Amino acid sequence: MSTTEPLAVSERGRSLLTRPILNKGTAFTADERDAFDLHGLLPTHVETLEQRADRVRMQLALETTDIGRHVLLREVQDEDETLYLRVLLDDIEDLLPIVYTPVVGEACQKFSRIYRGHPRGLFLSYPDADRLEDMLRAVPRAPDEVAVIVVTDGERILGLGDQGADGLGIPIGKLSLYSACAGIDPAGTLPIILDVGTDNEERRSDPTYLGWRHERVDGDDYDAFVDRFVQAVKTVFPDVLLQWEDFAERHAHKLLARYRDQLCTFNDDIQGTATVVTASVLSAMRRSSRDLRDQRVVLVGAGSAGSGIAEQLVQAMVAEGLAEDEARSRFYMVDRPGLLTSDMDGLEPFQVPLAQDPAAVADWQRADPSETTLLDVIANASPSVLIGVTGVPGLFTEEVVRGMAAADEAPVIFPLSNPTSRAEATAADVLAWSDGRALVATGSPFDPVTIDGVTHTIAQSNNSYIFPGVGLGVRAARARRVSDGMFMAAARALADAVPAHHTGDSLLPALADVREVSRSIAVAVAAQAQAEGLAPETTTEELEAAVDATTWEAQYRPYVPGD
């Protein structure tokens, strides 16, 4: 997308300066100040984008807390979207944890208290169920300009639980990464909170809380409200990509199954998380010269994220030639009751295909015959891969990690819960307890760890590697739907983007290269969409040109007066 072609702008004066997608602040040229009645509203000196970015960096250096840096960057975003994304792109490895995990968790907990009043995103509240379509139409953009919606109901924010309307911070952060990591035009992004109340009494009793102060709506009333929202989206924005984010597991799978064939949609917690983890595991297999089909996998946390990861890894094993039944037999899902077996009562429908046959584990040795614990699974199954998505800090104890290291020479251990305070283990502990042999990826950022003179760079298995590139590929290809095959293509493209491995190297590419990685993922996703008949066919050259033409760059464009 060209940054040199002049853009026709109809706003003038203060109105122009209040539009973050158009505002250039002190970078408006002398001619633009003449044309748009800006003299006197800005300091005299004309600056470049880089000079404005340097000022933001100086201001960031003055902040003493990460939440202070987050708030400052949000203020910049609400004033000048291009400047915000330029600063983020130029230092994405350091700033991604500030604008997203782990700091976005604290920002959601304090969302109402740090709210400045800028109208970013939509609050769609249950009492307004009859006017959802009108509220969507009130968005100040043409329907075909809205490319991506990220929506949450705030019930399962990271590992922090129900944050109610304060969960809007998650869609805001996600859409920032669509633009920063893959070049989705920020003018075409729309964060939405479905405010159906909250069961978080601390939120409801907080005098600063901005959401609907009511117990969380559930059951048929909840389903009807979400359906009204989806039908309104289909009417107002028929070509949009809709991403579901941080919904409780009792809703997540159901909503995805219900709507995935009605519009272009996916659930990032189920599919995005599964994809980046699959890529990380494939990378670990290359590092250790092993085949995925031969591994035994323990997944701790059998909710929507854990089951999504397991299902995608099953399909990756099948792609390597393993029969599906055999692949499923290699997975051990551990949740609150211990190892899930198919004879248990109360299993969720999505857990049933992943539950172990009780006959296959009947002769296992157990510390307590009434349950099969994580340690029991490790001792009896001798797994090579351990993945945690529980939100339970410290769950991967020294005994657990040493058990994995005893069972495998290069155990793959991924404590993926975030924010950092919820991680199942620290990277340093996993490497220390495995004598530096574990292949580690985490959900939150961790500093490099040195063991026996070898420095290990810790991969952050973050969805920001995946969903932006998927979104770019979907938009560039004009895909009608998002398929599981498209996510598998994304996983393989991400794994292929990892440079040649050396001991201690990260299992994923450097975040500094995320734009190039997202382009590769977008091309792979778009090609898969075409192969499945979900997008118009083009040549490879045309497809790559479409991806590049869809990519927005964080540079100021020249303006000319419009009507």
**Catalytic (active-site) positions:** 100, 174
Q: Check if the beta carbon of residue 186 is closer than 8 Å to that of residue 175.
A: yes
23 is in an annotated binding site: no
472, amino acid identity: L
Encoded tokens for 34: 């003449």
269 is in an annotated binding site: yes
For the chain, the C-alpha Rg in angstroms (whole number) is 24
CA distance 428 to 450: 8
CA distance 171 to 447: 27
376, amino acid identity: D
Q: Where are the alpha helices (DSSP H) in 408-539?
A: 427-433, 467-477, 484-496, 514-531
Q: What are phi and psi of 298, to 5 degrees?
A: -105, 125
Per-residue three-class SS string for 78-131: HHCHHHHHHHHHHCHHHHHHHHCCCHHHHHHHCHHHHCCCCCCCEEEEHHHHHH
Nearest to 96 by CA among 176, 166, 192: 176
Query: How far is the CA of 44 from the CAs of 50, 52, 130, 175, 540, in angstroms?
Result: 17, 14, 49, 34, 49
CA distance 49 to 465: 26
CA distance 460 to 557: 34
**Residue 293 exposed, middle or buried by CB count within 10 Å (0-12, 13-18, 19+):** middle
Q: Check if the beta carbon of residue 482 is closer than 8 Å to that of residue 264.
A: yes
Concatenated DSSP letters of 250-296: HHHHHHHHHHTTTSSEEEIIIIIHHHHHHHHHHHHHHHTT--GGG--
Q: Check if the beta carbon of residue 192 is closer than 8 Å to that of residue 151.
A: yes
418 is in an annotated binding site: yes
Residue 347: which residues within 8 A CB-CB, separation 6 or more? 340, 355
CA distance 29 to 47: 8
Query: What are the binding residues?
Result: 156, 245-246, 269, 418, 462
Query: What are the binding residues for (S)-malate?
Result: 156, 418, 462
Query: What are the binding residues for a divalent metal cation?
Result: 245-246, 269
